[in-house]
């Protein structure tokens, strides 16, 4: 409801969070995480679970009305989705609410918001493999698009095995810049500038290693985003 949007943060803390994370609901929460495949940081499962749940609800509460207004309709459709991961998937799929997308919203998406995979310039993407906002699978699908479109050598993805949305270190961000310069045939990164930005020798070594690994598209397997190897 629109009235909930401006007070969402407070409402989540006072009304939603205590219920979801009540120890009595631990089994239900575990099933929700399994069915939705929401990512969890193995190093901090409690905090990351709460983070993933909160972000998912934020997009549902705050983002849905905005998307519906801009697309001219509701775009979500689960009529043919079979949910897995609960203690009783048959019951879940029998009872879950089924929603049909509005044709106008789908038409708007297909007309203006779909990617082609056809690249006219080099593209470097970087994605955390445990992204709780934009699933890493999107990266895999886009990589396949570029391959089928004949643009595979113009696209390099750098997978980062970490929880969080765009949680990149300075060394990783500089790697993406350096790889882009290499793909564009531009001047290499200035070593003095690198040392100033990355005073830690370990970060400098990581940058060098990643640049060697990702600067040549021919060195990457065709489905490099599926393997999701961390440098």
pLDDT for 3-12, tens place per residue?
A: 899 999 999 9
**H-type alpha helices, 80-223:** 89-95, 103-112, 137-148, 170-183, 191-197, 201-214
222 within 8 A of 152, measured Cβ to Cβ:
yes
The confidence band for 217, taking pLDDT boundaries of 50, 70 and 90, is: low
Residues 115-124 have pLDDT tens digits of 999 999 989 9
DSSP 63: I
Closest by Cα among 144, 141, 176 to 158? 176
pTM over 0.75? The answer is: yes
- Axis-axis angle for helices 26-36, 45-58 (nearest 10): 70
Report the C-alpha gap between 220 and 207 in whole angstroms. 17
Beta bridge partners of 126: 158
Residues 166-186 have pLDDT tens digits of 999 988 998 888 888 888 877
Mean pLDDT of 46-52: 97
Check residue 59 and give its pLDDT: 92
């Amino acid at each position: 409801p629109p009235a909930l949007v401006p007070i969402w943060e407070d409402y989540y803390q006072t009304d939603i969070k205590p219920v979801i994370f009540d120890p009595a609901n631990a089994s239900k929460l575990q099933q929700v995480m399994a069915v939705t495949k929401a990512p969890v940081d193995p190093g901090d499962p409690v905090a990351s679970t709460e983070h993933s749940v909160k972000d998912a609800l934020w997009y549902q509460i705050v983002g849905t009305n905005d998307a519906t207004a801009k697309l001219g309709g509701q775009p979500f459709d689960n009529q043919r989705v079979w949910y897995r991961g609960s203690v009783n998937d048959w019951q879940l799929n029998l009872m879950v609410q089924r929603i049909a997308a509005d044709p106008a919203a789908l038409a708007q998406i297909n007309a203006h918001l779909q990617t082609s995979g056809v690249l006219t310039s080099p593209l470097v993407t970087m994605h955390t493999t445990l992204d709780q906002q934009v699933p890493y699978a999107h990266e895999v699908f886009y990589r396949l698009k570029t391959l089928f479109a004949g643009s595979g050598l113009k696209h390099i993805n750098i997978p980062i095995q970490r929880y969080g949305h765009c949680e990149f270190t300075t060394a990783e961000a500089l790697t993406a810049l350096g790889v882009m310069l290499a793909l564009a045939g531009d001047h290499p990164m200035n070593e003095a500038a690198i040392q100033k930005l990355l005073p830690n020798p370990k970060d400098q070594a990581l940058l060098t290693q990643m640049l060697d690994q990702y600067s040549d598209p021919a060195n990457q397997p065709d489905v490099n985003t599926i393997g999701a190897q961390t440098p």
